[in-house]
Amino acid sequence: MVNVMMKGVIMTLAESGSSFNHYAALGVLLLMAVGFGVANVTLTTFLGPSRKGEVKGTVYESGMNPIGSARRRFNVRFFILAMTFLLFDVEIVFLYPWAVTFPSLGGEAVDGGLDLLFLGRMLFFVLTTIVAFVYAWRKGVFRYD
C-alpha cells in the first residue's frame, strides 16, 4: 500500500515536466533530509531515561554557579565583521555570472570588443572592493587582538 502511494508520488513528480526533473530529485532528497533530522530529534526525546533535578537544570559552567544570563551584548567587532562579509560576499555573487560569461566571449573579431568592456567592468567592480578593503584595513577592522 505504501509502495503504491510512494510510486504515485514519484510518478507525479516525475511527470510534472522534464525540466523539473532535476529539482524533483532534489526535492526527494530534501524531504529525506528533513525527515532524517526531525525523526532523530524526535526519537531521541522518547528513547532513553529522563531524570530532572534542580542542579541538573542549571547552566553548565564547569561547576561554578552561573552569574547572569548569556544573553548579553557582545563585541561590536562581530557586527563590523558581518557587514564586511556582506560587502564581499555580495560582490562575489555578482561576479559568478561574469566569470561564466566572460571567458566564452570571442574577442574583437566576434563581438566587437565586448570582452574588454566586460573586463573593464569587472576591474572597476573589484577596484571598488579594493578601496573598501584598504579603508577597512586602515581603520583596523581586521585587527583582531
Q: Taking the C-alpha atoms of 26, 28, 32 and 35 in order, what is their torsion angle to the nearest 10 degrees?
A: 110
The DSSP code for 57 is T
Among 2, 5, 41, 55, binds other proteins (CB under 8 A): 41
Q: Using the rule CB under 8 A, is 48 a contact of other proteins?
A: yes
Could you give the CA distance from residue 93 to residue 145 in angstroms, rounded to a whole number?
Answer: 30
Q: Taking the C-alpha atoms of 99, 105, 111 and 113 in order, what is their torsion angle to the nearest 10 degrees?
A: 60
CB of 60 to other proteins, least distance (A): 6
Q: Using the rule CB under 8 A, is 92 a contact of other proteins?
A: yes
Q: Using the rule CB under 8 A, is 6 a contact of other proteins?
A: no
Pick 1 or 41: Cβ nearer other proteins: 41
Sign of CA dihedral 114, 116, 117, 119: positive
Q: What are phi and psi of 105, to 5 degrees?
A: -70, 155
CB of 109 to other proteins, least distance (A): 9
Q: Using the rule CB under 8 A, is 129 a contact of other proteins?
A: yes
Site for other proteins in 106-125 (CB under 8 A): 106-108, 113, 115-117, 119, 122-123
Please name which of 89, 88, 98 lies closest in space to residue 128, comparing C-alpha atoms. Answer: 88
Q: Using the rule CB under 8 A, is 23 a contact of other proteins?
A: yes
CB of 35 to other proteins, least distance (A): 10
CB of 1 to other proteins, least distance (A): 17
